[in-house]
Chain A
Amino acid sequence: MSVLHDLIFDYTLRNVALGAMLLGIVSGVLGAFAVLRRQGLLGDSLSHAALPGICIAFMLTGSRETIVLLIGAGIAGWLGTLLLLRTVRDTKLSEDTMLGVVLSVFFGVGILLLTLIQQGNDANQAGLDKYLFGQAASLIADDVISFVVIGALGLIVVIALYKEFKVISFDPAFAFSIGLPTRLLDIILTSLLVVAVMIGLQTVGVVLMAAMVIGPGAAARQWTDRLHVMLILSALFGAIAGVSGAVISVQAARIPTGPMIVLSLTAIVLVSLFLAPRHGLLPDQIRRRRQQTRLRDRGFDAVAEVRS
């Protein structure tokens, strides 16, 4: 019970756990759409693209306020994404090529700016590099409140536009043919992913953010064949990974939180991959075995041979 006690009364643990939970929920829901639209790596590209935004926001304002830096991150991530979608549409380059280009160019610029800032004599400079790998322990109550506001706005948009998002994810051409503004919806959905990344930067950092986008959705898909269930499960898995990662890292001192959250998430993904009743690898094997036995019993040896 001491964990529960600490969760409620320990200021740091409470903030870290709440922040990680909110991150898990928001990136779980929006990441699920990204996974379905085969844009899992968009989250990766986007979070790397956010790094120069953090640096530029700091250089312009001299402020280390989380919200200021995150707005910078959001703008840069968003610009990177628009650039990406634009070039994929207007050139012959494929999406994975452009993801790689945007990711490394923006990240390279980000590291460059980060080094410049750190070489300067500004006493305020320290701590920007926490956005690289995340530093959840630095979350304060105000950060958590910002996450709640940003995250709630994002989720409200998803709930309001649920059916539109569903149809553009499944069949964009059909969506267009029934009169939906598919390009606008596409931009809104991608911008929401930017929101998820903004929440994640301080907690898990630029480098590991992709896992938070892809993991919950990939795990949730294993358990269900319905979109709304998948979104709910995805949020739940993200939240569980966030809270358990936070608790483990804070309780077992000296383990960084971001990587621990990602490891918790990986455990969930692995369990889902192997054990989920409908799509899991293990139940699938068992079903196949049973079928072979059945066929053999009926004397269809040859068929069973072919099947195995």
Chain B
Amino acid sequence: MNLTLKRAAVPAIRDETAAVTVHDLTVAYRETPVLWDVDLTIPTGTLTAIIGPNGAGKSTLLKSILGLVPVASGTIEIFGHSSPRQRQLVGYVPQRGSVDWNFPTSALDVVTMGTYGHLGWFRRPGKAEIAQAMDRLEQVGMADFAHRQISQLSGGQQQRVFLARALVQDAQLYFMDEPFVGVDAATEKAIVTLLQTLRDEGKTVIAVHHDLESAPEYFDWLVLLNVRTIAAGPFVETFTADNLARTYGGNSNLLRIRESEAVRT
């Protein structure tokens, strides 16, 4: 049972190392490069936004760090190590549209899936795991919906279920792919508060984000991405009109709004 041993091995965290370090990362779907020579360091304990236009490679960046897409070249380290077992330190919240919500399962059941990584082969989730899952549902305000079939949940509720599933993994680092898409205002606030709590507990949260208007309020670290890293650093210093113009190409109407937005902050 080689596999059992592999999964049981404890991943390493060294204090004071960056949560994520990416060096010279290139990812290509066939011939077209989606990410080109990306260099990044995201410090531990930040709430980081990855921002960029459509097709900038934001989701791909998350997926390549997780090993979900093949990498053409470059190195990726999570908490200072490049071994695949470091993935166990990561809680992943995929885009909501990536799964079939008609799947015959309940909210509680989906959240319980977050415990599978720790359970190992052949073991079934027991009372302890289900209780943990229930706690997390409570934490995201979804305890009343625990036994609902997941297709009967609203978009915001589905997102909360995904979030609870990541929370139950008890990860050190959270990756969220567009957590606010198709979500109502109340859920967005609830999620942000939760992410900030995680950050305050010393966890690192990295989210792909679209809305330039809300970004300054939510995040404290910023990565501007458009195939290459355009800029990365503390949010306020990085969120400049100049950087945004370089990220978005700099001649659209949209951009003018964004520039005024940037100047204001």
The residues of A with any CB-CB pair to B shorter than 8 Å are 36, 38, 160-164, 166-167, 169-171, 173-174, 176-181, 221, 224-227, 229-230
B3 within 8 A of A: yes
Contact with A along B83-107 (1 / 0, CB 8 A): 0110110101010001110011110
Chain B minimum-CB-distance residue to A160: B122
Contact A174 B103, beta carbon cutoff 8 Å: no
B116 within 8 A of A: yes
Q: Which residues of A contact B109 (CB under 8 A)?
A: 226-227
Q: Interface size (B, Cβ < 8 Å)? A: 34
If the complex has contacts A160-B122, A163-B116, are A177 and B90 also in contact, measured as CB distance less than 8 A? yes
Q: Which residues of B contact A160 (CB under 8 A)?
A: 122
Most B CB within 10 A of own CB, among A179, A221, A226, A227 = A179
Contact A177 B66, beta carbon cutoff 8 Å: yes
Contact A177 B68, beta carbon cutoff 8 Å: yes
Contact B3 A181, beta carbon cutoff 8 Å: yes
Contact B66 A230, beta carbon cutoff 8 Å: no
Interchain Cβ contacts under 8 Å between A and B, 14 examples: A163-B113, A171-B94, A171-B113, A174-B94, A174-B113, A176-B68, A178-B116, A178-B169, A224-B104, A226-B105, A226-B106, A226-B109, A227-B105, A227-B109
Contact B104 A227, beta carbon cutoff 8 Å: yes
Complex Cα distance, B67 from A173, in Å, reads 10
Please count the residue pairs between chain A and chain B whose beta carbons lie under 8 angstroms apart in the complex.
78
Contact A226 B3, beta carbon cutoff 8 Å: no
Q: Which residues of B contact A173 (CB under 8 A)?
A: 63, 68, 92, 94, 98
Complex Cα distance, B90 from A176, in Å, reads 11
B17 within 8 A of A: no
Contact A170 B106, beta carbon cutoff 8 Å: no
15 A-B pairs besides A38-B100, A164-B121, A171-B98 with CB distance below 8 A are A170-B99, A170-B110, A171-B113, A174-B92, A176-B68, A177-B87, A177-B90, A178-B116, A179-B85, A179-B88, A225-B149, A226-B106, A227-B103, A227-B105, A229-B104
B7 within 8 A of A: yes
Complex Cα distance, B177 from A247, in Å, reads 54
Contact B68 A36, beta carbon cutoff 8 Å: no
A179 to chain B, nearest CB (A): 5
B264 within 8 A of A: no
Q: Which residues of B contact A164 (CB under 8 A)?
A: 116, 121
B125 within 8 A of A: yes
B117 within 8 A of A: yes
B127 within 8 A of A: no
Complex Cα distance, B169 from A257, in Å, reads 51
A164 to chain B, nearest CB (A): 8
B124 within 8 A of A: yes
Contact A167 B116, beta carbon cutoff 8 Å: yes
Q: Using a CB-CB cutoff of 8 Å, which residues 141-171 of chain B contact chain A?
A: 149, 165, 169
Chain B minimum-CB-distance residue to A220: B104
Q: Which residues of A contact B104 (CB under 8 A)?
A: 36, 221, 224-227, 229-230
If the complex has contacts A170-B103, A170-B105, A173-B68, are A179 and B7 also in contact, measured as CB distance less than 8 A? yes
A287 to chain B, nearest CB (A): 14
Contact B94 A163, beta carbon cutoff 8 Å: no
B250 to chain A, nearest CB (A): 33
Q: Using a CB-CB cutoff of 8 Å, which residues 189-222 of chain B contact chain A?
A: none
Most A CB within 10 A of own CB, among B7, B99, B104, B105 = B104
